[in-house]
Copies of this chain bind each other. A is one copy, B any other.
Amino acid sequence: MVAEREQEGKIDEVGFTQSPSFPEGASRYELGAQSLSQLDENQVENLQTTFKDISPDLARLVIEYGFADIFSRPGLDSQHREMATIAALTAMGTALAQLKFHIKAALNIGVSQIEIREIMILMSVYCGFPAAINGTLALKEVMSESSSS
């Protein structure tokens, strides 16, 4: 991973600051990558691939801020984090890909399909039926993708 960081360092030619390098132990990036991999083992690589030519630092920041600084925090367990995230993304209605990712992630760490279905139904009260329907359709897509793979 350190080697990868150094490789990323080459991107710095276009003018970005490097991620802080921590001389001993796990770096912020490594800690974030580890947390994110618990939700989906391919997602670190997916992020790197998707953004490597357009905005590699964005992928790094998702991992460092989203998953090292925040997701790894104590005080709220991972399942509750995913439930809250699913509710928020369903309420927003502007982040379908992210919602599907977090539905999969939630299922991967033990949130049940029924709990997710119920969060979507609950959202009808606070965000209205279109949000609840679109959230449920995201769940349906995730379920049918996973059953067909």
Give chain A interface residues in 99-149, CB to chain B under 8 Å.
114-115, 117-134, 136-137, 139-140, 143
Binding site for B on A (CB under 8 A): 1-5, 7-8, 11, 14-17, 19-20, 22-29, 31, 48, 50-62, 64-66, 69-76, 80-81, 83-95, 97-98, 114-115, 117-134, 136-137, 139-140, 143
* Count of identical protomers in the assembly: 6
A17 contacts B127, C-beta separation under 8 Å:
no
Contact of A20 among B3, B20, B119, B134 (CB under 8 A): B20
A73 contacts B121, C-beta separation under 8 Å:
yes
Q: What are the nearest 4 A-B pairs in CB distance?
A: A2-B25, A93-B94, A95-B130, A76-B118
Q: Complex formed: what's the CA distance from A91 to B63 in Å?
A: 21
B55 contacts A19, C-beta separation under 8 Å:
no
Q: Complex formed: what's the CA distance from A23 to B1 in Å?
A: 7
- Please name all residues of chain B whose beta carbon is closer than 8 Å to the beta carbon of A2 when the two chains form the complex: 24-26
Given A84-B87, A85-B126, output 9 extra A-B contacts at Cβ < 8 Å. A55-B120, A57-B73, A58-B117, A61-B121, A65-B124, A88-B90, A92-B94, A94-B134, A98-B129
Among A5, A58, A134, find the residue whose CB has the most chain B CB atoms closer than 10 A. A58
A65 contacts B125, C-beta separation under 8 Å:
yes
Contact of A89 among B19, B26, B81, B130 (CB under 8 A): B130
- A sample of 23 inter-chain contacts (CB < 8 A) reads A1-B25, A7-B25, A11-B29, A11-B60, A16-B73, A16-B75, A17-B73, A17-B74, A50-B137, A55-B121, A66-B129, A70-B125, A76-B114, A80-B83, A83-B83, A84-B123, A85-B87, A87-B88, A92-B127, A92-B130, A95-B130, A95-B134, A124-B128
